[in-house]
Amino acid sequence: MMALALAEAEKAAAEGEVPTGCVIVDAEGRIVGKAHNQTETLHDATAHAEMVALSQAFAALGNERLVDTTLYVTKEPCPMCAGAIVLARVARVVWGVSDPKRGGQTVFGILSHPGVNHRPQVEKGLMEEESLAVLQGFFRARR
């Protein structure tokens, strides 16, 4: 699933967006959401890959609770996305590259904060090198 998220990140890069991709699967492994960053394209600061994929998953499952789902994303969710993941009750979050400057978990601890009513299982570093290469390549090309 992370390979599919990476393909979404590459789509974002091709569109001039920060290359982040996200895939959400249900308990049976069916894809219920798949997206990439679209903030520039849509002129919408909330159109992060995770937010778009979450909206797709809500529609696909007909529920605002995404229990028994796994969210794969190439870069650690920001605070906005981490908050939405908690509210959606996603069971598991897997990311490639951590964001030590702005990460919703690494910096702010949102996904494991004792004050939230849901704490997803977190796994980091899956296909980290590949995820990092897409990000670095994008920013190198922009310089």
Please determine, for residue 78, whether its predicted confidence score (pLDDT) is greater than 90.
Answer: yes
130 is an active site residue: no
What are the tens digits of pLDDT across the range 83-112? 999 999 999 999 999 999 999 999 999 999
Looking at the chain, list the stretches that DSSP marks H as alpha helix, in order from N- to C-terminal side: 2-14, 39-42, 49-61, 79-88, 128-142
* Active-site option among 8, 17, 50, 76: 50
Cα(133)–Cα(106) distance, rounded to whole angstroms? 20
Model confidence at 124, in pLDDT bands (50, 70, 90)? very high
pLDDT: is 142 or 10 the higher one?
Answer: 10
Nearest to 74 by CA among 140, 13, 142, 118: 13
What is the rounded average pLDDT of the residues 12-35? 98
Work out the number of other CB atoms within 10 angstroms of the CB of residue 13. Answer: 21
Cα(129)–Cα(2) distance, rounded to whole angstroms? 12
Please determine, for residue 142, whether its predicted confidence score (pLDDT) is greater than 90.
Answer: no
Mean pLDDT over each residue of the chain, to the nearest integer: 97
Please report the pLDDT score of residue 143 as a whole number. 81
